[in-house]
């Protein structure tokens, strides 16, 4: 994991927030792609369900441009982040139970006005690739 932390930065462009360290295999896929593309990121393990105040505090002080939210089970995390930021949120459903269908539906089925982009189950790398495409808009 240490080598994957190479591009962690004080002024990150992307924030990866995972609900648990048990999602590590999935968020490491995103970290690998961000590192390969020299995109600075911050990694946080914060559960919206378990530690809502910590999430609130982090988001209030965060200056990143894009959030990648990795969560399994009843994946409230991406939607909660989306409710508190005007930046894009990309959700990654994790196959913790039910093959990840529970998390996929939780992330996709956001109510009107609070969109969350969603990549495939366990597709942490695609969340990073999508984040890079969004960041590329800055150079157009
Ligand atoms: P533990 O292994 O820590 O019990 O977590 C995590 O993302 C993980 O996949 C089991 C699963 O619970 C998920 N989790 C969420 C949230 N917090 C934890 N979906 C949340 O706030 O959405």
Position 9 scores a pLDDT of 66
- Looking at the structure of the chain, the number of domains it has is 1
pLDDT-derived band at 1 (thresholds 50, 70, 90) equals very low
Distance 14 CA to ligand 1 centre (A): 21
Position 139 scores a pLDDT of 80
Q: What's the CA dihedral at 26, 30, 31, 34 to 10 degrees?
A: 170
- List beta partners, residue 42: 15
Q: Is the CB of 46 under 6 A from ligand 1?
A: no
pLDDT per residue as tens digits for the range 28-56: 999 999 999 999 999 999 999 999 999 99
Atom 13 in ligand 1: residue holding the nearest Cα:
72
Report the CATH number that the domain containing residue 45 is assigned in CATH. Answer: 3.40.50.1970
pLDDT per residue as tens digits for the range 58-113: 999 999 999 999 999 999 999 999 999 999 999 999 999 999 999 999 999 999 99
Dump the DSSP string for 109-126.
-PPTT---EE--TT-HHH
Distance 95 CA to ligand 1 centre (A): 11
φ/ψ of 24, rounded to 5, equals -55, -45
Q: Is the CB of 91 under 6 A from ligand 1?
A: no
Q: Which ligand 1 atom sits nearest the alpha carbon of residue 18?
A: 7
Position 5 scores a pLDDT of 39
The predicted model scores a pTM of: 0.94
Distance 20 CA to ligand 1 centre (A): 5
Those residues whose C-beta lies under 8 Å from the C-beta of residue 75, and which sit 6 or more positions away, are: 19, 69, 91, 93, 94, 102, 103, 106, 107
DSSP state of 19: S
Q: Which residue range forms the structural domain that includes residue 103?
A: 3-139
Position 10 scores a pLDDT of 74
pLDDT at 6 > cutoff 70: no
């Amino acid at each position: 994991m240490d080598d994957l932390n190479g591009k962690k930065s004080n002024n990150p462009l992307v924030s990866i927030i995972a609900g648990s360290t048990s999602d590590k295999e999935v968020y490491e896929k995103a970290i690998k792609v961000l590192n390969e593309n020299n995109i600075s990121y911050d990694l946080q393990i914060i559960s919206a369900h378990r530690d809502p105040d910590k999430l609130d505090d982090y988001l209030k002080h965060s200056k990143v441009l894009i959030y990648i939210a990795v969560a399994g089970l009843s994946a409230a995390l991406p939607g909660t982040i989306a409710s508190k930021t005007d930046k894009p949120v990309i959700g990654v459903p994790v196959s913790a139970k039910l093959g990840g269908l529970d998390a996929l539906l939780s992330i996709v089925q956001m109510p009107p006005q609070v969109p969350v982009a969603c990549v495939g189950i366990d597709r942490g790398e695609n969340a990073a690739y999508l984040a890079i495409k969004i960041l590329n808009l800055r150079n157009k």
